[in-house]
Amino acid sequence: MRDLPQAVTDYIFGLTIEATRKRSPAYLLGDGEGRLIEFGGKLALYGINNPELGVHIDQQVEYLAGFLPLEGEPVVLPCLKCGDGVSTDLHIFSGEGGDWILFLESTEIEATQQEIQQHAHELSLNKEKQSRMLSQFLGDQVAQGLEDGKFDIKKGGERRNLTILFADIRDFTPFSENHSPQAVFRTLNIYIRSMMETLAGEASSLNAIVGDQVMAVFGIFSAAASHQFRAVGASLKMIEKVNELYEERKRWNLPALRIGIGVSSGPVAIGILGTKERKTLTVIGHYVNLAARLQSLASPGEILIDKNTYDNIRSYRRFFSPTTLECKGIVSPVKTFSNMGKN
């Protein structure tokens, strides 16, 4: 601080001393062999009662064993708690007279830090949980399939005719803002689980859960029925399951939400991304965007499908009727079909 004027440094020191005084400073002084030769301040606050001069400090404050005599640099032990003592920032430093041990109360600092840390950790735990659930449902299966060469996808990627499904929980964002993170994730887990279980039974290969959204790709595993048929079958089942959940939760007075689904079908680029340990399939293209867009336009309980899908679902056609939508970002008007029969 040499480049600051004396008046400024004096002022800063004044601030520091004032702030520090509020933190109930207390101290111990040890001689070259760690025996107590002086003490002062509210030591009882830190759980140190009746200090005895001449006795080794680490016999009186057991946790200091190994710290005294101090050799070299000062040591700081932030937010230390022991017994019934309050949280303290402990500073150990050599100075005039021997080794000084300074106690400064850190209850407030700790409380602030605690709040931030708790929030961050809970958030990370929830994120981890979500991605674990993903691999639990299909990640491993897809990864294994890739390993065994079950799906013959060319290394460099290729174009394939596939069906893409997007489903999300309607009105989840306002819901999540009005409930505790615990409640949000509990509800999210129940819903995502219900959607995923349906998908897993339909030979889809699942790509992602992003927040309150699920994406699935049909047509990678070979199966008897067309991928469009299976995707729409899965959609109808998902809606049915979630509707049951919705009614049930309403009966119990629990937060009840519904989902919207978008399905689209056509040629997309498919490739393998990832490392040796963890491979994932990725799809890119117009039809992926279209499915996502349709999903975003679907009302609660609604399935919106494009014409390519509609043309290939035979007996399921009776559930759908044409609807007109404004599809932002997609140039030509899209023929769309809905299970909710609106025009």
Partner 1 sequence: MIKKKVCMLGSFAVGKTSLVRQFVQGIFSDKYLTTVGVKIDKKTIELAGEEVQMMLWDIAGEDGFQRIQTTYLRGMAGYILVVDGTRRSTLEEAKNIFLRIDEMDIGSVPHVVFLNKIDLTDEWELKGEDIASLNEIEARAFKTSAKTNEGLEEGFLNLAEMMVKQG
Contact residues for partner 1 (CB under 8 A)?
62-63, 65-67, 75-83, 87, 106, 110, 113-114, 117-118, 120-122, 124-125, 128, 132
Please identify, using beta-carbon distances, which residue of 5 and 83 lies nearer to partner 1.
Answer: 83
Please identify, using beta-carbon distances, which residue of 131 and 324 lies nearer to partner 1.
Answer: 131
303-306/259-274 β-pairing: parallel
For the CB of residue 78, give the shortest distance to partner 1 in the complex, in Å.
5
Please identify, using beta-carbon distances, which residue of 62 and 247 lies nearer to partner 1.
Answer: 62
Q: For the stretch 183-222, what's the b/e string if a residue is b when 16 or more beta carbons lie within 10 angstroms of its beta carbon? A: ebbebbeebbeebbebbbebbbbbbebeebbbbbbbbbbe
For the CB of residue 88, give the shortest distance to partner 1 in the complex, in Å.
9
For the CB of residue 67, give the shortest distance to partner 1 in the complex, in Å.
6
- CA 190, 192, 195, 198 dihedral sign is negative
For the CB of residue 120, give the shortest distance to partner 1 in the complex, in Å.
7
For the CB of residue 172, give the shortest distance to partner 1 in the complex, in Å.
24
Residue 194, strand partner residues: none
Closest CA to 229 of 192, 268, 263, 267: 263
Please identify, using beta-carbon distances, which residue of 8 and 125 lies nearer to partner 1.
Answer: 125
The CA-CA-CA angle for residues 302, 303, 309, to 5°, reads: 165
Please identify, using beta-carbon distances, which residue of 118 and 173 lies nearer to partner 1.
Answer: 118
Please identify, using beta-carbon distances, which residue of 92 and 206 lies nearer to partner 1.
Answer: 92
Closest CA to 60 of 30, 84, 32, 105: 30
> Residue 206 in contact with residue 137, Cβ under 8 Å?
yes
Backbone angles phi, psi at 151, to 5 degrees: -105, 130
> In angstroms, rounded to a whole number, what is the distance separating the alpha carbons of residues 51 and 55?
9
For the CB of residue 108, give the shortest distance to partner 1 in the complex, in Å.
12
For the CB of residue 40, give the shortest distance to partner 1 in the complex, in Å.
23
Q: Does residue 333 have a cis peptide bond before it, meaning omega lies within 30 degrees of 0?
A: no
Please identify, using beta-carbon distances, which residue of 53 and 65 lies nearer to partner 1.
Answer: 65
Reported residue count of the chain is 343
